[in-house]
Structure formats: structure tokens, C-alpha cells
């Protein structure tokens, strides 16, 4: 497999980026750009819409048509763009707080309608940009700035939520497997209909520090332990200086988990 030079797809004049050291969002962003490049998508025909959050800041560095929307409303803005200009390839970058908290209602209805969008949900289990508050995906028992004694609420399973809402392509991947990410993004972009990809992406600054998970490299190993295919062999190994708290949820399924063909919503009257 040949390496892809992603620099033509970056606004290098906007560098340096604002991501913290060890943040995995850069890995995810690169995998997305590789998938776009290999798909041969014209940059002038590629639109990326984002809401508010660390992951949403990535759109400022992408040399496509980009839009920074209001908090949680990225799927709505993207829907309008796709209906007005159906020839464009439209994607959404959203964090777990942006997409599943304030933006949850917009997300499920875009999935229900089967809008031809690709939504990438960056899941770092915390509100990373605004101070490390508990998020809809924070695991029970995990520490955040607003749950110093551990989160008491169950976490959203965004994959099950999207299947139930009607998304016609649903996948989960990890930033610890960038080549797999590239392949899944390529398939999501090629899918006609609402494609949803949840990406497990580490936040060493807040989630990692509060929960004693180590720095970026250690957290990537911790993310790998959540993969049901490798969880058991890695579980017996001590990978950071302190036992991770909380333990990774056992047996998360990764990969393309749901795919179907059904009518795509284009705003026109049926028949």
C-alpha cells in the first residue's frame, strides 16, 4: 500500500494546530484525509461540517469547503448543504458531547431520514475543550471534573443508538488502528445513505490524567484493550504505571457493524 501525502489537503498556513500533545484526533483526521484522497474525491466537491469541540476544530485545517456550525447542529447544517447541492460529498465531524448531548436529536433524525452524509463521531469519553466535564459516553465509574467521585450514569452506546435510529451504515473503529480507520472511512464515504462511524479517540489531558491512564501512547494501548478481538490477551499485561481506572468495557465490537441499502432522503415527494 502506497503512502499518501496529505499535505495538499491541509491549510498549512493555519498551523500549528491547537490539539494537545498525545491527542488521537490527529490520527483520525489523517486517516480521513487518506480515505478522501484514495477515493479520488475532488477537494472542491468535498464539504466537512463541524460543531463545537476539540474534534470540530479540525475542520479549520482541512483544505476543503468547510463550515464551523453551532453546538450540536452540524448534522442539520450538513443536511441543508446536501439537499441544496446533492452532487457534493458531505461529511460531519462531531465530538461525543457535541453529537450525543446537545446535538443528539439532530443526529438521530438525520439517521432516520437516511440523508447521504458521512458522520464521524470522535469519542474521547469527556468534554475535552471546556474543562473535562462528564459526557454522554463517559463510562460508569470514570472520573471527570464534574464527577470527582466517579460517574454514576451509564454511557450511551452510539452504535446501537444509530442502528435503532435507522442509519444505513454503522461502524466503530479505534484511533489505535489507523489503517483500519482508513478502510472504514473509505467504505463510509462510498456508501449511499447515512453513514456513521464512531471512533475511539484518547484525551490524555483530561480523561487520561483524571483516570490515571498515562499519556498518549499508553492510552492508545488502553483503547486497543477495548477491542473484543484482542482484549483478553492484553488484559493480563500491565501497560501503564497504575492499573487503569476504570477498566475498559469488555468486548466492544469494532469494524463495520451494520450496512443496508434503503431509499436516500432527497427532500422530494415520494413517487
Domain annotation covers residue 2? no
How many domains would you assign to the chain?
1
269: confidence class by pLDDT, cuts 50, 70, 90? low
Domain annotation covers residue 219? yes
231: confidence class by pLDDT, cuts 50, 70, 90? low
Domain annotation covers residue 269? no
236: confidence class by pLDDT, cuts 50, 70, 90? low
pLDDT at 172 over 90: yes
pLDDT at 51 over 50: yes
Domain annotation covers residue 271? no
Domain annotation covers residue 169? yes
Domain annotation covers residue 156? yes
pLDDT at 242 over 60: no
Task: Provide DSSP, the chain.
Answer: ------GGGB-GGGPSP-PPTT-THHHHHHHHHHHHHHTT--GGGEEEEE-SSTGGGGGGGBSSEEEE-STT-HHHHHHHHHHH-TTSEEEEEEEHHIIIIITHHHHHHHHHHT-S-EEEEEE-SSBTTTT-B--TTPPTT--BTTBTT---SPPP-HHHHHHHHT-SEEEEEETT-HHHHHHHHHHHHHSSS-EEEEEE---IIIIIHHTT--SHHHHHHHHHTTBTTTHHHHHTS--SSS--SSPPPTTB--EEEEE---PPP-SSPP-
pLDDT at 193 over 90: yes
What pLDDT, in 10s, does the model give residues 8-34? Answer: 999 999 999 999 999 999 999 999 999
For residue 151, give its domain range: 22-259
261: confidence class by pLDDT, cuts 50, 70, 90? very high
Please tell me which residue, 243 or 142, carries the higher pLDDT value: 142
Q: What is the CATH number of the domain that holds 246?
A: 3.40.50.970
- Highest mean pLDDT pick, 135-144, 185-194, 239-248: 185-194
Name 31's Cβ contacts closer than 8 Å, sequence gap at least 6: 178, 181, 182, 185
Domain annotation covers residue 15? no
Domain annotation covers residue 237? yes
Amino acid at each position: 500500500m502506497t503512502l499518501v501525502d496529505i499535505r495538499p489537503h491541509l491549510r498549512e498556513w493555519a498551523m500549528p494546530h491547537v490539539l494537545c500533545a498525545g491527542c488521537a484526533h490527529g490520527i483520525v483526521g489523517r486517516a480521513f484525509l487518506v480515505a478522501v484522497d484514495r477515493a479520488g474525491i475532488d477537494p472542491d466537491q468535498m464539504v466537512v461540517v463541524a460543531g463545537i469541540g476539540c474534534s470540530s476544530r479540525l475542520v479549520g485545517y482541512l483544505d476543503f469547503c468547510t463550515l464551523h456550525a453551532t453546538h450540536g447542529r452540524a448534522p442539520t447544517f450538513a443536511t441543508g448543504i446536501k439537499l441544496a447541492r446533492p452532487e457534493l460529498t458531505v461529511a460531519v465531524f462531531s465530538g461525543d458531547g457535541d453529537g450525543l448531548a446537545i446535538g443528539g436529536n439532530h443526529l438521530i433524525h438525520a439517521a432516520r431520514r437516511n440523508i447521504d452524509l458521512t458522520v464521524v463521531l470522535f469519542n474521547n469519553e469527556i468534554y475535552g475543550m471546556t474543562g473535562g466535564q462528564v459526557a454522554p459516553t463517559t463510562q460508569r465509574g470514570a472520573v471527570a471534573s464534574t464527577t470527582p467521585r466517579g460517574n454514576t450514569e451509564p454511557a450511551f452506546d452510539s452504535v446501537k443508538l444509530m442502528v435503532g435510529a435507522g442509519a444505513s451504515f454503522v461502524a466503530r473503529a479505534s484511533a489505535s488502528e489507523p489503517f483500519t480507520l482508513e478502510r472504514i472511512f473509505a467504505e463510509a464515504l462510498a456508501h449511499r445513505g447515512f453513514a456513521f462511524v464512531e471512533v475511539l479517540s484518547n484525551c490524555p489531558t483530561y480523561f487520561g490524567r483524571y483516570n490515571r491512564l498515562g499519556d498518549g501512547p499508553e492510552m492508545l494501548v488502553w483503547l486497543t484493550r477495548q477491542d473484543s478481538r484482542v482484549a483478553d490477551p492484553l488484559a493480563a499485561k500491565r501497560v501503564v504505571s497504575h492499573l487503569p481506572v476504570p477498566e475498559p468495557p469488555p468486548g466492544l465490537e469494532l469494524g463495520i457493524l451494520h450496512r443496508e441499502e434503503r431509499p436516500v432522503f432527497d427532500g422530494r415527494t415520494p413517487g
